[in-house]
Structure 1
Amino acid sequence: MVTQVRPPRPDEMSAYYRVLPFANGLPSWEPENAAWHGGSEPWPPQRPPANTQRLEQLAEADINDASFHPVATFVDGMCVGASATISFAVTAPGGGTVRMAGVTATGVIATHRRRGYLRRMMQAMFDAALDRREPLAMLSASEGSIYGRFGFSPATYRTRWELARHEAALRPAEPDPGTLELVGATQAKQAWPKVHADVRACRVGELAPLPGRWDGLSDDTDGTNGPLRYLVHRDRHGEADGIANFRLPWSPTEDNAGTLVVEALEAANSTAYRALWSLLIDFDLTKSIVAPGRPRDEPLRWMLTNPRAMRVTRQTDNLWARVLDVPTALTQRTYLKHGELTFTIDDDQMCPANNGTWHLGTDEAAVTCVPTDKAADLTITLSALSSLYFGGMSAQQLACAGHIVPHADGALGKLTQMFRTDPEPHNSFGF
């Protein structure tokens, strides 16, 4: 038996896709209520398997995409496992961007599971990402028990919330100097890149979009869901500073009739944010508002006269992070409080250069992270450091769970003060 883990050739791409759940019609998410889905059912219907023409279209697009890096496992010439990374930039604490390998579309056929093929593909992708000087990897975990053993750990979360229209009263605020406009898909495609760029510049955990990110927006009806509709906010100079995609799906039941689903909403400032929500939560002939994929610390809650009216109905982790290069990653973010911290990592089996004791120093001039012989203030697992990287997780909780062991008085508090960010990290789309 000959086993190879390598990038597929162009003529092998159809076999590569047939391994992947999204292309072969098998489930590609956990059987749990999905916080990214706005419908009344737990998740949308499964798509049918892709036909030959669709596979050829996918192959042509991916072969010509310099950001797409596939890898596959071949056993005696047959493709039995597949995965890929996509080169992204992600906003780090402080507003800078970090190069990141986004792991996507991963699968091993049922007859070849439990043989270590996924680990070998992960190792190949980590090595290739390091060669491309990408110090982070991230993914959206379809099953929570799989990816921790490769060093990934939750870094951002998302919620799905509901709000009854009759409870959606807003606190008084200053008049809005801007304007709201319902637009078509063509205008939405023009507004989204600008608004997202403004938001991404100050939102930790947000991804830089790849080319064509909003090309699929349409005014056409999507089955019983109806068409997407688009609401744009413009400032007093006429520049778009907020946008929302929403729909009013048809429902076969009385319980879910009159629901407005906000599928995406971004605003570059609080004025635009409030204006968009003000219209959407009081839309004519609706009973309730549902918003999936939203931040855990949604500001709208605190604009309501009754904060309890916003009910979180689903919550899950969103992107999981994995530090591939400790010193490079840690010196490409800023820290809430300047100081020094010495820590040991001793559990990274896939990127062994991360193991050792590191001295992290931050001041107004620079951030440094270098090997040291000094005694460590604490020992931290690679997965815990990965969760803490974007500043949204609790060091205290990670320590309680055994992922962090302090060796010096005050070390845990110092770690918390240096790494935490406010607001929490969030990303608005997956990959």
Structure 2
Amino acid sequence: MALDTRVLTADEWDVWYDHLELAFGGVPEPPEERALYRSLTEYDRSLGVWDGGTCVGSAGAFSFRLSVPGGAVVPAAGVTMVGVAPTHRRRGVLTSLMRRQLDDVRAAGEPLAVLTASEPEIYGRFGYGTAAYELSVDIDTTRVRLRVPPGTDAVRLRLVDPLKALTECERVYAALVPGRPGMPARRPGWEMQALLDPESRRSGASPLKCVVAEDAAGQVVGYARYRVRPDWEPTGSDGTVLVGEVDALDPAAYAALWRYLFEIDLTWHVRASGRPADDPLLHLVNDVRRIRAVQRDALHLRVVDLPGALRARRYGAPVDVVLEVEDAFCPWNAGRWRLTAQGDAGDGAGVRCVRTEDPAELALSARELGSAYLGGVTLTSLAAAGQVKELRPGALRETSRAFAGDVAPWRPHNF
């Protein structure tokens, strides 16, 4: 029987999501999490592959607006819910879904597509490059102290109900979005993701807690969400603080929040995941070697509309370069493009990206362009790995400097 690929309808959602759970190991999600994702699903952007009455493949997208270098917030497809049934592997199901989805993203006028990858190797062949990394840290607070900046003691901390403080916390998050590439501007409903707190996912930890930081005027300028997992040894307490989020608008508030997390009674460990690769915490601690830190990929980016994407961001230095781009999966991007930009110009002002017949000066594929787009992966490092080729002496250094950002891109939450 031929497979049928079609847009999802509301009455098919449960079967479609059951398939997705099976593709990711078959462990049912908590009802609260399932209900949230049902409410967030954009049915017209969700695809199912059906073999008779059985769903055997899925892919979806969320309509995000993503921060890029320079502070612009650009339309982007947040690719999600991708899975293929184990009975239907190696039959072209995933390739057909990626083909249909990228065609739809292009038709929607979104220059970018982004995803988090359960297996990063899969998506490179569709032109996605690793564009952002994240840190996980495990800190023994008996051995690590913080060196806080001036003003930290003036910050007032207040323990609050996570739901009641949601509006104030979202205000802080929204203010941070333009300053760090890779952050999605949260649409209604997404603010609830961070508050998901099913007991089955706590692994012995407390319910979700929230502490806010206030300035002298009483305005919330930061927040931390966390759980505490108590533990005891024959010698006494050995609890762990499990950090979900720490966001703040100024260094003093940021340091005050981390100091609070380090000093919670009966705990001697702080663990946090999904932190920016250049987290200021690395500079607050007195001995960075005492932090067990692990870096991994976090966000994979695909340039869908090459000239639109390159015109949307700013550049840290002037650049005038002819790019030879290879893109077999999205051939409309392939060929030679002249990118010209003045330093710190963006949003179409002073940035041009047009097709050209001029000799190529730098050769790369869409995958490498996606990696470098947010400014966290340098073209020089990709060239050192043999993935970017310099065709005009000096072109690599000039272009890499222009693409590089001031801060590491960051994906603050899953999708």
How high is the TM-score relative to the length of structure 1? 0.87
Question: Given the alignment, which residue of 350, 361, 376 partners 1:377?
Answer: 361
User: What does residue range 160-175 of structure 1 map to in structure 2 within 5 Å?
Assistant: 160-171=136-147, 173-175=149-151
Report whether the alignment pairs 1:267 with 2:248: yes
Map Cα deviations across residues 41-70 of structure 1 (whole Å, 9 max, x no partner): xxxxx843689x997x5796356x47x610
Map Cα deviations across residues 169-190 of structure 1 (whole Å, 9 max, x no partner): 2225323343111111233312
Report whether the alignment pairs 1:152 with 2:152: no
Match of 1:179 in 2: 156
Question: Given the alignment, which residue of 211, 225, 229 partners 2:209?
Answer: 229
- Cα pair distance change 1:230/1:154, threshold 3 Å: same
The separation in 2 between residues aligned to 1:73 and 1:218, in whole angstroms, is 29
> Does the Cα contact within 8 Å between 1:25 and 1:49 map onto a contact in 2?
no
Structure 1 residue 285, shift from structure 2 partner = 1.8
> Does the Cα contact within 8 Å between 1:168 and 1:282 map onto a contact in 2?
no
> After alignment, is 282-291 or 10-19 more displaced?
10-19
Report whether the alignment pairs 1:18 with 2:18: yes
Structure 1 residue 131, shift from structure 2 partner = 1.4
> After alignment, is 383-392 or 230-239 more displaced?
230-239
Structure 1 residue 20, shift from structure 2 partner = 0.6
- Cα pair distance change 1:125/1:293, threshold 3 Å: same
- Cα pair distance change 1:218/1:339, threshold 3 Å: closer
User: What does residue range 279-358 of structure 1 map to in structure 2 within 5 Å?
Assistant: 279-312=260-293, 314-346=294-326, 348-358=327-337
Q: Secondary structure at the match of 2:106?
A: helix
Structure 1 residue 257, shift from structure 2 partner = 3.1
User: What does residue range 43-122 of structure 1 map to in structure 2 within 5 Å?
Assistant: 47-48=27-28, 61=39, 65=42, 69-76=45-52, 78-122=54-98
Report whether the alignment pairs 1:420 with 2:401: no
Match of 2:370 in 1: 386
Structure 1: unaligned runs, 5 residues or longer: 28-45
> Does the Cα contact within 8 Å between 2:230 and 2:267 map onto a contact in 1?
no
The separation in 2 between residues aligned to 1:339 and 1:254, in whole angstroms, is 63
The separation in 1 between residues aligned to 2:100 and 2:399, in whole angstroms, is 32
> Does the Cα contact within 8 Å between 1:101 and 1:137 map onto a contact in 2?
yes
- Cα pair distance change 1:108/1:188, threshold 3 Å: same
Q: Secondary structure at the match of 2:181?
A: coil
- Cα pair distance change 1:344/1:397, threshold 3 Å: same
The separation in 2 between residues aligned to 1:172 and 1:237, in whole angstroms, is 21
The separation in 2 between residues aligned to 1:223 and 1:303, in whole angstroms, is 29
Map Cα deviations across residues 273-302 of structure 1 (whole Å, 9 max, x no partner): 111112111222211111111112121221
> Does the Cα contact within 8 Å between 1:185 and 1:219 map onto a contact in 2?
no
The separation in 2 between residues aligned to 1:420 and 1:60, in whole angstroms, is 38
- Cα pair distance change 1:282/1:107, threshold 3 Å: same
Aligned partner of 1:202: which letter? G
Q: Secondary structure at the match of 2:179?
A: coil
> Does the Cα contact within 8 Å between 1:219 and 1:229 map onto a contact in 2?
no
Map Cα deviations across residues 58-94 of structure 1 (whole Å, 9 max, x no partner): 796356x47x610111234542111101110110000
Structure 1 residue 270, shift from structure 2 partner = 1.1
- Cα pair distance change 1:295/1:325, threshold 3 Å: same
> After alignment, is 151-160 or 209-218 more displaced?
209-218
